Amino acid sequence: MTAVAAVDLGASSGRVVRGVVTDGRVHVEEVHRFANGPVHRRGSLHWDLPGLYREVLAGLRLAGEVDSIGIDSWAVDYGLLDASGELLGDPFCYRDSRTDAIKPADGLYEVNGLQFQPFNTMFQLMAEPLLPQASQLLLIPDLLSYWLTGERGAEYTNATTTGLIDVRTGQWSPELTRDLPPGLLPALRRPGDPAGTYDGVPVIAVGSHDTASAVVAVPAETDRFAYISCGTWSLVGVELSEPVLTAESRAANFTNEGGVDGTIRYLRNVMGLWLLQECLRVWDTELAPLLHEAATATGSVFDPNDPVFLPPGDMPGRIERWCGKSMSRAEIVRSVLDSLALAHRDAIADAQRLSGKEVEIVHVVGGGSHNELLCQLTADACGLPVVAGPAEATALGNVLVQARAVGAAHGTLADLRKLVRRSQALRRYLPR
Ligand code: LFR
Q: Is the CB–ligand 1 distance for residue 214 below 6 Å?
A: no
CATH 3.40.50.300 fits 220-388, yes or no: no
- pLDDT digits 0-9 by tens, 263-293: 999 999 999 999 999 999 999 999 999 999 9
To test ligand 1's pocket by mutation, which of 99, 233, 257, 266 has the most ligand atoms within 8 angstroms of CB?
233
ipTM here: 0.98
Confirm whether pTM is higher than 0.95.
yes
To test ligand 1's pocket by mutation, which of 99, 161, 206, 227 has the most ligand atoms within 8 angstroms of CB?
161
Residue bearing the CA closest to ligand 1, atom 8: 74
CA 157 from centroid of its chain's CA atoms: 11
346 is known as an active-site residue: no
Same fold, 2-211 and 220-388: yes
Domains in the chain: boundaries:
2-211, 220-388
- pLDDT digits 0-9 by tens, 61-79: 999 999 999 999 999 999 9
Dihedral (Cα; 311, 94, 271, 75), 10-degree rounding: -160
SS3 13: strand
Cross-strand partners of 229: 235, 365
Q: What pLDDT does residue 1 have?
A: 86
Distance 78 CA to ligand 1 centre (A): 13
Distance 233 CA to ligand 1 centre (A): 7
Residue bearing the CA closest to ligand 1, atom 9: 211
Q: In what order do the strands lie in the sheet with 194-198?
A: 25-35, 13-22, 2-9, 68-73, 201-204, 194-198
CA 162 from centroid of its chain's CA atoms: 13
Its CATH class, for the domain covering 2-211, is alpha beta
Catalytic entry in 8, 210, 338, 350: 210
Q: Print pLDDT tens along the chain (432 aa).
A: 899 999 999 999 999 999 999 989 999 999 999 999 999 999 999 999 999 999 999 999 999 999 999 999 999 999 999 999 999 999 999 999 999 999 888 999 999 999 999 999 999 999 999 999 999 999 999 999 999 999 999 999 999 999 999 999 999 999 999 999 999 999 999 999 999 999 999 999 999 999 999 999 999 999 999 999 999 999 999 999 999 999 999 999 999 999 999 999 999 999 999 999 999 999 999 999 999 999 999 999 999 999 999 999 999 999 999 999 999 999 999 999 999 999 999 999 999 999 999 999 999 999 999 999 999 999 999 999 999 999 999 999 999 999 999 999 999 999 999 999 999 999 999 999
Distance set, CA 99 to CA 103, 127, 137, 181, 315 (Å): 9, 7, 18, 20, 20
Q: Which of 140, 133, 52, 155 is nearest to 92 (CA)?
A: 140
